[in-house]
Structure 1
Amino acid sequence: MHVIAASIMCADQLNLDEELKRLEEAKVELLHCDVMDGVFVNNLAMGPYVLEQIKERTMIPLDIHLATEQPSKYIDMFASIKPKYISFHVEASDDIVRDINKIKDYGVQPVLALSPNSPIELIKPYLTMVPMVLIMTVNPGFAGQKFNYQVLEKLEELNNILQKMESRPLIEVDGNINNLTIPLLLDKGVNVFVLGTSALFNQDEGSYIDKINRLKHLFIQ
């Protein structure tokens, strides 16, 4: 299974209504929504009021990524929006099991997020508790960064672990995902590809439909 997600933070923020319509027409399957607190990462994005309005205006399920300290506080803040997924960074949590269960208690699917420099061992004990893991291929915080090729080894390690599980979580990747990096990720067991400025929200010719269809063609080669 291969899923295309769009990083809505990278869209035209002054024309979100139109952007959402275009993403729906392109059959985007998830909206990846970055929430940043200015502490865990040196940037700020996206508030609950904005995500509430996005949820009201689209049928595309939300995939909220908490790049924050104290994820438990932000889970309470954003879970009422009823996204499909909420991910939090294991590096930022002081009680991973508690935060996983808190997300589940809200009726939302929990996801474990891991930064490029963090080892797989941090998430390994909890893999049976979640339906998906988010492996960052750039440092969280800013769009437009270079792809971290060292993460490929980590993804291979993770895929080898998951292959031994009866019910394996999906693997999501975020950070400079495009026509050059997707082929490198396909044989690492990656399922969900978050598209941002390098592949979707850029000035290249073509509609969102055209851009996404070209990338989906990579899945069947």
Structure 2
Amino acid sequence: MHTIAASIMCANQLNLSSELQGLEKAKVELLHCDVMDGVFVNNLAMGPYVLEQIKAGTSIPLDIHLATETPAKYIDMYAGLDPEYISFHVEASDNIERDIYTIQEKGIKPALALSPESPIEMIIPFLEKVPMILMMTVNPGFAGQKFNQRVLDKLDALNKVMATLEKKPLIEVDGNINQHTIPPLVEREANIFVLGTSALFNSEQGTFAEKVNNVRELFNRNHKSLGLVDL
């Protein structure tokens, strides 16, 4: 099963109500919300008041990605929004198990995020403690970056490790996810695809529903090419 998450940071911020309505019509399953502190990454984005208004304007569950230093501080700040997921970067946490537990205690699904240059060894000890891994395919901070091909090798290595686990987390991928990068990611068993400027919030003609349907058709074609059952 493949899930589509819309990167709401890439939407038209002056027309969010209409954008959210379009995403609901397109049956997008998650809203990926990037929280940036200007320290862990050189950008600022999506404060709690903004996400509070977004949550009030849609029934689509929130998928909050903390691209921040001191994740514990932001977990407390954003947990009241009752998102489906909160992911934090293992590179930024001084106590990964504690931060996982804190998110779980708030009734939210914890996820671990990993930047392209970070080794998978950083997340391996925690794979059975979380329901999802967020593999960044670009450096967190800015949309429109080039897809990092080396992440494909990391996904191969990650899947080898996860094949030995009884409880396998989902793999979410984020960063220049489009018609060219989706096929190798489907092959590497990615489950949740974050769509931003390159596939959804762009100047190409078509509604969100049409663009999402194109992506779902791409999932199906690549699923069939791998000899798997249709979605």
Aligned to 2:119: 119
Measured in 2, the distance between the counterparts of 1:131 and 1:48 equals: 24
SS in 1 for 2:178: coil
Measured after TM superposition, the shift of residue 163 of structure 1 is 1.9
Q: Take 1:122 and 1:111, find their aligned partners in 2: how far apart are those partners? A: 13
Give how far 1:67 is off. Answer: 0.1
**Letter aligned with residue 138 of structure 1:** V
Q: 1:82 aligns to what?
A: 82
Q: Distance in 1 between matches of 2:107 and 2:190?
A: 25
5 Å matches for 1:1-221? 1-221=1-221
Gap runs ≥5 in structure 2: 222-231
- The one-letter code of the counterpart of 2:173 is V
Taking the aligned partners of 1:162 and 1:55, their CA distance within structure 2 comes to 33
Letter in 2 for 1:100: I
Distance 2:46 2:83 in 1: 14
What per-residue deviation string (whole Å, max 9, x for no partner) do you get for residues 151-184 of structure 1? 0000111111112222210000000000000001
Q: CA deviation at 1:199?
A: 0.4
- For 1:9, give the aligned amino acid: M
CA distance in structure 2 between the partners assigned to 1:198 and 1:139 by the alignment:
15
Between the aligned partners of 2:192 and 2:45, the Cα distance in structure 1 is 22
CA distance in 2, matches of 1:186, 1:159: 12
The separation in 1 between residues aligned to 2:23 and 2:125, in whole angstroms, is: 36
Give the C-alpha shift of residue 218 in structure 1. 1.3
User: How much identity, in percent, do the aligned residues show?
Assistant: 68
> What is the rounded CA distance, in whole Å, between the counterparts of 1:111 and 1:159 in structure 2?
17
Give the match's secondary structure for 1:14.
coil
CA shift for structure 1 position 42:
0.1
Question: Secondary structure at the residue paired with 1:193?
Answer: strand
Secondary structure of 1:220's aligned partner: helix
- Structure 1 counterpart of 2:36, which letter? M
The amino acid across from 1:220 in the alignment is N
User: What is the distance in 1 between the residues matched to 2:164 and 2:57?
Assistant: 40
Root-mean-square deviation (Å): 0.6
TM-score, with structure 2 as normaliser: 0.95
Deviation of the 1:219 alpha carbon? 1.4
In 1, Cα distance between equivalents of 2:220 and 2:77: 39
Instruction: Provide the C-alpha distance between the structure 2 equivalents of 1:144 and 1:26, rounded to a whole number of angstroms.
Output: 23
Distance in 1 of aligned mates of 2:144 and 2:38: 18
Count residues in correspondence: 221
Q: Which digits, 9 at most, give the CA deviation of each residue in 1:54-110, with x for residues without a partner?
A: 111111000000000000000000001100000000000000000000000111000
Residues in 2 aligned to 1:207 and 1:140: alpha-carbon distance in whole angstroms: 27
TM-score, reference length from structure 1: 0.99
1:187 Cα deviation (Å)? 1.1
Distance in structure 2 (CA, Å) of the matches to 1:178 and 1:110: 26
How far 1:3 sits from its partner (Å)?
A: 0.2
Counterpart Cα distance in 1 of 2:57 and 2:204: 26
